[in-house]
Chains A and B, each alone.
Chain A
């Protein structure tokens, strides 16, 4: 194990190096570029033995990764924002084909207006495409998720592509001290990719075929079951990970000071660190504030969230996303989880951080303050010059 001072992108690239993908296909887009630059250097200096394919678009990046995965090779790609949307056709294709590709997505705003900074509208808009989606909180978790993503995606019961999301700039370009495991440790954790359903020259088969109305539902059901099974495999991966690397993760969610919390804030991604500090400050003032960080959006931690807020008075969902004409996607999912669990609490959706707008500790304090009003619905944070919050 080596301690290194790395950005989120660099840490993730180290994790990918240790995961030994055999084929990397990628197209550059800010703020993902440093990952593919680092991987190119690793291929050049021999520390990573992979075929690096300079594709001419994101659509081809994922199409190429699917080809590699279809013949049983471990494949990696990375993208962001417009690139993710450009490869959208291939996202559902990879999921339906059960190709366990890993992709890093640097969360970035989507045009229009053009904006290169971070929000989560890119990946959340693709929530239904059949990929496992996880959101890292810091550079260390990003590195660790690189290794864990292949473990989960390639598990025979899962066989589902895996998207690791890092908040653009805030996480991808921010430096932290990171433990970089040894290759020996990584090899102990991650077995070689073995696929039962691949294009095998000695046992030819036909893949990615058509299935009419009679068979289609059965294929889609199996796809659904595959991603649901990821939940158990994540737990299994984390247990093995803790054994070998000594770092523990907590499944689909991570909670903070939740036990006796009356007011709970649900977050996604790297804002968690700031939210924790804010909760500590509020706790010092005697307020019973608590936090849930959703790590996995798919499979969705419905039971975990319901259980965590069962005794709360109100729940806030802060997300860098809006499904225009309704509300934030995370909020919709959280409300559905509560409804199914028979929990009827005031819930408020705080839409903030769009296009990289800063969310401050004071903003988070204000969220907890507003939560006491008993309002249910959507609030947009800091619009225009007056900085007002709008319903």
Chain B
């Protein structure tokens, strides 16, 4: 199939006039996905950044059908929408959810797991900015090791978040889901291809996209895309897919960029000691060892 690229992308805007912070990675993930999916999309967003910036009556910012769900209820509301439209004889639509890391990996994981178990025909996109940003940068289970948040302050006794980032991609894959993928707003062509591919698959689809938050990460507003590329290039995130029971690695950096550079440029990691950085590097290498063992490589588009 001819993959959608920036050049062939629709000029229609479906997420427009919202009040997201400058440089917001999450809003980019939404905007691009809706361009790929088109006007017959029904979007569900739980409480979180994107609903907070997009649904303020009377300034409603979605050009397609969109609704806020309860915080825990993104997937279950998607299920109802998909079943309801189908029961009404309508089949040419996309039921798509956009939830943050907290809404996905913490409070919404039960409903998401239920939807995958039922193999409901929905697309669930997690825009991961690695903390509860909407409420003021609190730790979620997708906050990486070492990150300073307002609930994991970096002080003398505890140096930020001490737990590793929950591996949602593989947790989702373990359900035997028809399609799951990771992505980054730093690699938009890869993301667009995955959204388009997911839109053509029956059953439950999950895409987990890293979406930096300048406000919460402590980077400049024009660094979002660069940092989102760097996290992939330094090996702390990876671009992959899970399909037909197989993990596929889409992109293997020839040589990892420096982890320390990625970390030190962000205010949330600035307190880390050299030992902390070394530990993060070690964990990255362990992860890649597992990736090489378990993932097939396929980089063609």
Binding site for B on A (CB under 8 A): 22-23, 25, 50-51, 53-57, 59-61, 63-73, 75, 89-90, 93, 199-201, 204-212, 215
Contact = CB atoms under 8 A, between A and B. Distances in A.
B77 A63 contact: yes
Contact residues on B (Cβ < 8 Å of other chain), bracket? 35 or more
Interface string B14-46: 000000000000000000000000011010100
B65 interface: yes
Given A56-B110, A199-B81, A201-B90, 17 more contacts: A25-B80, A64-B83, A66-B69, A66-B77, A68-B84, A70-B80, A71-B81, A89-B72, A90-B70, A200-B65, A205-B60, A206-B61, A207-B66, A207-B68, A208-B69, A210-B51, A212-B57
B85 to A, nearest CB: 5
B73 A63 contact: yes
A200 B42 CA distance: 9
Q: Which of B44, B77, B83, B114 has the most CB atoms of chain A within a 10 A radius of its CB?
A: B83
Nearest to B85: A71
Contacts of A209: 55-57, 60, 68
A63 B83 contact: no
Given A56-B110, A56-B113, A204-B64, A67 B78 contact: yes
B118 interface: yes
A59 B80 CA distance: 13
Contacts, number: 156
B291 interface: no
Q: Which of B63, B67, B69, B117 has the most CB atoms of chain A within a 10 A radius of its CB?
A: B67
DSSP class of A's interface residues: helix, strand, loop or mixed? mixed
Contacts of A66: 69, 73, 77, 80
B39 A53 contact: no
Contact of A51 (B51, B52, B86, B93): B86
B65 A60 contact: no
Nearest to A205: B65
B56 A60 contact: no
B140 interface: no
A129 to B, nearest CB: 13
Contacts of A70: 67, 77, 80-81, 84
B199 interface: no
A71 B88 contact: yes
A68 B60 contact: no
Contacts of B75: 60
Nearest to A193: B88
A22 B86 CA distance: 9
